[in-house]
Structure 1
Amino acid sequence: MSQLANREISIMTIPLSALDLVVAESNRTAVESLDATRRTVLRLDELGYRRVWFAEHHGTELSASVVPAVLMAHFAAPTRRIRLGSGGVLAPNHAPLAVAEQFATLATLHPDRIDMGIGRGPGTFDGSIVRALRRGGEPTTGAEYAEDVAAILRYLSGEGGVQLLAGWRPDARGASPWLLASSPASAELAARLGLPIALAHHIRPDQSVATAERYRELFTPSRWADQPFVMAAVETVVADTDEEAARLARPTDVARSKQTSAALLSPEEAASYEIPEETRGTVEAIGASQARGSVETVRRRFAAIVDQTGADELMLYASVYDADARIRCYELAAKAVE
């Protein structure tokens, strides 16, 4: 067993959450994509998932998740208990005060239900969009990003010298801050600030163990967390059989191999696409490191990822074409931890 997992963890008790990118599917509109997410979020709430997070992506045909705070506010209203969060709000694109105001407002409207996952990426590969978001500013340095995160936390803690909204007071029911981590460098920042981390295993699985180890090694307790807490984001495709799961996962492999932001193909469309030789090894390696297969196969994959990373929670990313199939995936994933 990994040294990270020297405490007793049962896969049968690991909490499950979800990451929703409002995936745009081929031949479907933004209205249809957002409605699919609505149906998915409502079902996640019924199934007892702990939280659902939304990403900040710009200028892409693959995702209609652009402004996490708007989606959080919208989906908090019809749900009963699930936490809503950003996975993440990208600090370099926004003034720290604006981020703090948004999340203080959300937490006031929905106490004990708001997470603020903070990340660094631009959320786009389009340089003109980056410049527009940042009002002509250049990409931030690591030091500038760290200061932006620290500034957001100061505002939320009431130590920023600004009243975020009339009558507001910081308390334990406010927005819960997290840091997205895909490398030991981001883990070091989270550890220094005493934040829980969302480990980007679905993007950089080769960095997961080193990132989690570095985080636990350096963690300093804070007002936000008294001990380290790791939530691992895992691409998850569950079906009745391993073969069916592989069929459902094929569109994601094709999207990864093409290295474009085009809309997600249907399994039938993806079946006719040949993955280029130059990307095949990488695509297969990433897929093998995730959780794909039948309930029993996914149960073993969850256990392996928890063992490797010491994760306290799993955040599932079901990149599956069609809302019904995606919801079925989350239903079966829940059975994997029963």
Structure 2
Amino acid sequence: MNLPPLSILEVAPAEQGRTASEALAATAATVRAADQLGLRRAWFAEHHGAPLIGSVAPAVLIAHAAATTPRLRVGSGGVLLPNHAPRAVAEQFATLDALHPGRIDLGIGRGPGTFDASVVAALQRGAAPTTDHSYRAGIVELLGYLSGEAGPPLLPGYRAAVQPWLLSSSTAGATLAGELGLPVAFAHHIRPQNTAEALDRYRQAFRPSRWRERPYVMIAVETVCADTDAEADLLGRPLDLVKADLFAGRADRPLLPPAEAAEVTLPDEVQERLRAYRAEQAHGSPATVAGRLAALAEATGADEIMLSTTIYDAAARRRTLELVSSLKLVAQSAG
């Protein structure tokens, strides 16, 4: 078994009946556990107006996480650039970098992060819809600020150590990451059917840059690990229901307790779609998860795996991290 370095993606999941303060406190505790377990990095997503997700302001969560952990790299997974002015993003992340030198990642992505058109309009202040051209131009502008090659300095005496990444779930995004010479974080947990072709395109398109001399691939994998396959199946059921809603084009359900989620019956065709999706992820006992992660690493050539652990109850999320981290330690000692 050969596992690459492991990291985590946090969305601050909102559990039914719990407050925003409780969700964010649980996320902070999960990130501290990741630091103690030796994971490489923790990233925070950007979503808006979703009943499931409390991670709406990645830069704020990064600041808190960096201040409360001694070692872990922290970053955005990602800042959705169409929602922000590139200069503002550069200044925020330069400030984070100056406070926590060498520990800050800036994952850049595309998309509104919400199903609500009124939220998009408010975030983007009525701007025209993002095109491929304007998205690329925004990234290039942002990279220019970070490198010091564009505009006035971001901070007096600042020397950038922020690591920019490009997030992708498609061949187009992966190709762009390669052309810009950036490491790519691929959303296998969202569109696993695109992973193989997109990573091939990324490697073919890669051009060395000031940011990376060689391609670097991190894949995000939905991971639920428990003592048995049956227990992991139960823990994964609340997120199954959320995905079933997404299949139907809506996002209006928080995470239910596993026992309550288990009582919900889904149509056969939806259940089959969920089974096919899970087969591409890493759900199960330690042995099952180890096999899935190792197989994905080998098939994709991933340099790193980011665990997406949207599980009801923070203790169960941390248990997943503990079990998967122990697999990594076993792999290291065996190697």
Q: Tell me the TM-score normalised to structure 2 length.
A: 0.95
Contact 1:255 1:262 (8 Å CA) reproduced: yes
Within 5 A, what are the aligned runs for 1:102-121? 102-121=92-111
CA distance in 2, matches of 1:265, 1:101: 38
CA distance in 1, matches of 2:159, 2:29: 34
Q: Does 1:276 align with 2:263?
A: no
Within 5 A, what are the aligned runs for 1:87-98? 87-98=77-88
Question: Tell me, which stretches of 5 or more residues in structure 2 are unaligned?
Answer: 331-335
CA distance in 1, matches of 2:104, 2:44: 12
**Pairwise CA distance, 1:282:** 2.2
Contact 1:198 1:230 (8 Å CA) reproduced: yes
CA distance in 1, matches of 2:92, 2:174: 25
Corresponding residue for residue 218 of structure 2: 231
**Pairwise CA distance, 1:38:** 1.3
Corresponding residue for residue 331 of structure 1: 322
The secondary structure found in structure 2 opposite 1:162 is: coil
**Pairwise CA distance, 1:138:** 3.0
Corresponding residue for residue 58 of structure 2: 68
Corresponding residue for residue 5 of structure 1: none
Corresponding residue for residue 157 of structure 1: 147
**Pairwise CA distance, 1:39:** 1.0
CA distance in 1, matches of 2:129, 2:151: 27
Give 2:36's match in structure 1, choosing from 16, 41, 46. 46
Corresponding residue for residue 206 of structure 1: 193
Identity %: 55
The secondary structure found in structure 2 opposite 1:107 is: helix
CA distance in 2, matches of 1:261, 1:83: 32
**Pairwise CA distance, 1:278:** 4.0
Contact 1:295 1:333 (8 Å CA) reproduced: yes
Provide the aligned C-alpha RMSD in A.
Answer: 1.0
Per-residue Cα deviation, 1:146-178 (whole angstroms, up to 9, x for no partner): 1101110000000112211222233xxx11000
**Pairwise CA distance, 1:280:** 2.4
CA distance in 1, matches of 2:152, 2:19: 41
CA distance in 1, matches of 2:217, 2:204: 13
**Pairwise CA distance, 1:184:** 0.7
CA distance in 2, matches of 1:64, 1:122: 15
Contact 1:257 1:276 (8 Å CA) reproduced: no
Contact 1:248 1:267 (8 Å CA) reproduced: yes
CA distance in 2, matches of 1:331, 1:188: 35
Per-residue Cα deviation, 1:174-197 (whole angstroms, up to 9, x for no partner): 110000011110011100000000
Count how many residue pairs are aligned between Structure 1 and Structure 2.
Answer: 325
CA distance in 2, matches of 1:110, 1:268: 41
The secondary structure found in structure 1 opposite 2:68 is: coil
Residue type of the partner of 1:274? T
